[in-house]
Amino acid sequence: MDRERHLAETFVELADTLVDDFDVIDFLQGLATRCVELLDVAAAGIVLADQGGSLRTVAASDERARLLELFEVQNDEGPCRDCYQLGAAVVNVNLDGARDRWPHFTPRAIAGGFRSANALPLRLRSQVIGSLNLFHAGIGGLPSAELRMAQALADAATIGILQQRTIRRGEIVTGQLQAALTSRIVIEQAKGILAERLRISTDDAFRVLRTAARSRNRLLSDLAGEVADGSADPVQLLR
């Protein structure tokens, strides 16, 4: 399939997802996966800023702990932090030359097999609520057409976050952000419970959770909530 068609289908699919009752973390995770396919990058992740200005990971193209750590370290420094603070895209940074700029982040990213990085802002009018982070295995980075596409995907992520079912009279962006962040924490807690009960890795636990949610036609966060509060039996999720 040519790329324009793939892109068009991606946006149709994203729009289709934004129905009455959808799961924001599942949506963002799907979007991160699409970034990898469409933009030919090695990994993608989405971070949101909380009320204290800390950046928190809400979704990634894969849930490898090492990749998640690479987003988390950016709470202190890295392309996401810069993007959030500057309110502007940080594009095509060659990591070999970024050791002074980000002394903690850069060696970790290079050890993870990445050579260059991009961070696109999740914009809401004049406010930046988070960032879409793209990692590449090569040093070339993204051509400008791809960067526009990446920004469009970042905008789609913002739309998704603001479309959550929690919209209620008087509630505003803050509530939506808060809901997405809480949802992600519940998923992490559920991953831990599943990993321990089923003797699997936390990465596999995420796959079990997502597969179980899909096969039962349930929202990822609802099922995670039931695992986390003990009302869903982890062993049953494998069936």
Partner 1 sequence: MVSARMAGIVAGLSRHGPRGLVAVAPGFCAEVLGVTGVAVSVPLAGGSDVVWRTEGASVRLDDLQFTLGQGPGVDAAASGELVLEPDLGTVPAQRWPVFTPAALELGVRAVFAVPLQIGAIRVGVLLAQRDAPGPMDGGALSDMLVFADAATEALLGSVAGSSEPQWLSLQPSGYRAEVHQATGMVSVQLGVTQAEALIRMRAHAFSQRRAVADVAADVVARRMRFEENGD
Given the rule CB under 8 A, which residues bind partner 1?
A: 50-54, 56-57, 65, 68, 72, 75, 166, 168-172, 174-175, 178-179, 182, 184-186, 188-197, 202, 225, 228-229
User: 126 vs 217, which CB is nearer to partner 1?
Assistant: 126
User: 111 vs 185, which CB is nearer to partner 1?
Assistant: 185
User: 168 vs 239, which CB is nearer to partner 1?
Assistant: 168
CB of 49 to partner 1, least distance (A): 10
CB of 138 to partner 1, least distance (A): 28
CB of 223 to partner 1, least distance (A): 12
**Sheet containing 127-136, strands listed edge to edge, beginning at the edge strand earlier in sequence:** 55-60, 43-49, 127-136, 116-124, 90-94
**DSSP labels for 90-146?**
EEEEEGGG-TTTSTTHHHHHHHTT--EEEEEEEEETTEEEEEEEEEESSSS---HHH
**Gyration radius of the chain's alpha carbons:** 18
The whole-angstrom separation of Cα 94 and Cα 120 is: 16
User: 79 vs 225, which CB is nearer to partner 1?
Assistant: 225
The whole-angstrom separation of Cα 74 and Cα 84 is: 10
Reference 35, options 62, 64, 2, 73; nearest CA is 62
Q: Which residue has the tokens 């009455």?
A: 20
User: 90 vs 232, which CB is nearer to partner 1?
Assistant: 232
CB of 149 to partner 1, least distance (A): 28
Give the side-chain half-sphere CA count within 13 A for 222. Answer: 11
Other beta carbons within 10 Å of 71 = 24
Residue 23 C-alpha from the chain's centroid: 13
CB of 76 to partner 1, least distance (A): 11
The whole-angstrom separation of Cα 165 and Cα 151 is: 24
User: 13 vs 233, which CB is nearer to partner 1?
Assistant: 233
CB of 192 to partner 1, least distance (A): 2
